[in-house]
Amino acid sequence: MFDILVKGGTLPDGTVADIGITGDRIAAVGRLGAEAGRVIDASGDLVSPPFVDPHFHMDATLSYGLPRVNASGTLLEGISLWGELREIATVEEMVGRAVRYCDWAVSRGLLAIRTHVDTTPDHLRGVEAMLEVKRRVAPYLDLQLVAFPQDGLYRAPNGRENLIRALDMGCDVVGGIPHFERTMQEGADSVRDLARIAAERGLMLDIHCDETDDPMSRHVETMAAEVTRHGLGARAAGSHLTSMHSMDNYYVSKLLPLIAESGMTAIPNPLINITLQGRHDTFPKRRGLTRVKEMQAMGITIGWGQDCVLDPWYSLGTADMLDVAFMGLHVAQMTHPAEMARCFTMVTEHNAAIMGLAGYGLRPGATASLVVLDAGTPTEALRLRPDRLCVIAKGRVVSEQARNDARLGLPGRPATVRRRHP
């Protein structure tokens, strides 16, 4: 007898199956007639492994308008505003905002998040706060912390020392921001330094890399070489990589095989970069998105990241990875049925691979975490961004939502309008 039986759902690959859960593990997947402590009817609904966000800033989330809004809409004004906010934000306030965000995420079936934590200020209150949040949400949400030198590893007065302190305090991943160092040379040096730190400590590496419209910002080249040198492979991720949209095509034809050879992954963040980038352009105005399909064609693993929700950089956001994938699909023009389906896989399996999540997936022995969506297929889920009817995290039902179809009172018309495809 299972603790929970999710009955008759359609898995992302189209298979119809029951999922039996015992404790915090998936015990069986298939046609299961067995009894259960609780049966959840998922007939006709999509049952997916949980959504995963490999790029976020939880120390800043839900702070929109503090200390004031970003008037220029640029990355640099956002960094400047955050520099003021982090000096007045208390640990309690940051914990409160972050836990509220995690509640929101759980309700959307988002159960694993990698968050970059600013390690610039000597007080490291953000690190203290996010370690507390990680402890609090651990029973239902996997939080990975990146030690992130927001103001530069070398450009900030104690940038390197504080990054090391943050790793010693318990951050899981080594971060960086080479395009924000003082010179291109110091940016490249920071990438070498950070890759060495990650290799020596046996940690993952995730660098904000070339988040600029400058076609000559080429830190991803250095990163790929260092990832290869240290054998970091898929334990390394290049976040953003926006400058690649403007690089010379011949140069890119050399660069892509080097990235593929390294085994590193990539995390574009379409919601934020479609608004932040291209702000100095007139027309044509660039889209702020790296070469997603071209990298995938080379076998490079790519996910979609959310980056920001209601903070100094981004004034909107929903904690819904389907919104992120929906924007990515549009900006990268991934409209073929196979590409749309891949966009769903990017915010589930591919993001989980990027974060190195153990026990992820809908198979016997995996962690019992899943989401039931009011949609028939992954592509329909992208089109509708539908209700999350049930979210199960580590064997417990953590969120439920009623189906939300419109009921019409029109004479001679159907009484209910379903948004789903018939």
Residue written as token pair 């190195």: 356
What does each C-alpha distance from 54 to 132, 207, 208, 279, 384 come to in angstroms?
A: 19, 12, 12, 25, 23
Does 53 contact Fe ion by CB under 5 A? no
C-beta of 211 vs 349, nearer to Fe ion: 211
Q: Residue 364 has what DSSP assignment?
A: T
Q: Are the CB atoms for 348 and 49 separated by under 8 Å?
A: yes
Q: How many helices (H) and strands (E) does the chain have?
A: 13, 17
Choices 75-83, 218-226, 252-260, 300-308; region in contact with Fe ion by CB under 5 A: 300-308
Complex with Fe ion: residue 10 or 243, whichever CB lies closer: 243
DSSP secondary structure code for residue 11 in this structure: P
Report the residue number, 77 or 261, with the smaller CB distance to Fe ion.
77
Tokens of residue 76, six digits: 């640099």
Kindly report each contact of residues 335-344 with a partner whose C-beta sits within 8 Å and lies 24 or more positions away, as own/partner: 337/379, 339/293, 340/378, 340/379, 340/382, 341/377, 341/378, 341/379, 342/296, 343/304, 343/382, 344/12, 344/48, 344/378, 344/379, 344/381, 344/382
CB within 8 A of 354, min separation 6: which ones?
Answer: 54, 114, 234, 237, 265, 267, 301, 303
Nearer to Fe ion, 198 or 391 (CB): 198
Tell the smallest beta-carbon distance from residue 56 to Fe ion (Å): 8
**Which single residue brings its beta carbon nearest to Fe ion?**
307
Q: How far apart are CA 401 and CA 205, in angstroms?
A: 37
Q: How far apart are CA 342 and CA 352, in angstroms?
A: 14
Residue 62's nearest CA partner among 22, 113, 99 is 99
Smaller CB separation from Fe ion, 245 or 394: 245
Residue placing its CB nearer to Fe ion in the complex, 307 or 374: 307
**What letter represents residue 192's amino acid?**
R
Q: Between 307 and 323, whose beta carbon lies closer to Fe ion?
A: 307
Q: Could you tell me the smallest distance in angstroms from the CB atom of residue 268 to Fe ion?
A: 11
How near is the Cβ of 305 to Fe ion at its closest, in Å? 8
CB of 211 to Fe ion, least distance (A): 7
Q: In what order do the strands lie in the sheet with 173-176?
A: 51-56, 110-118, 142-148, 173-176, 204-209, 236-240, 265-267
- Please state, in angstroms and rounded to a whole number, the distance separating the CA atoms of residues 120 and 340: 39
Q: What DSSP line would sit under 13-74, residue for residue?
A: TS-EEEEEEETTEEEEEES----EEEEEE-TTSEEEPPEEEEEE-TTTTT-TTSS---SS--
Q: Which residues pair with 174 in a beta bridge?
A: 147, 205
Site string (302-331) toward Fe ion, x via CB under 5 A: -----x------------------------
Positions annotated as catalytic residues are: 211
For Fe ion, the closer of residues 273 and 369 by Cβ is 273
Spatial contact of 303 and 351, defined as CB atoms under 8 Å apart: yes
- Report the interface residues with Fe ion, using CB under 5 A: 307
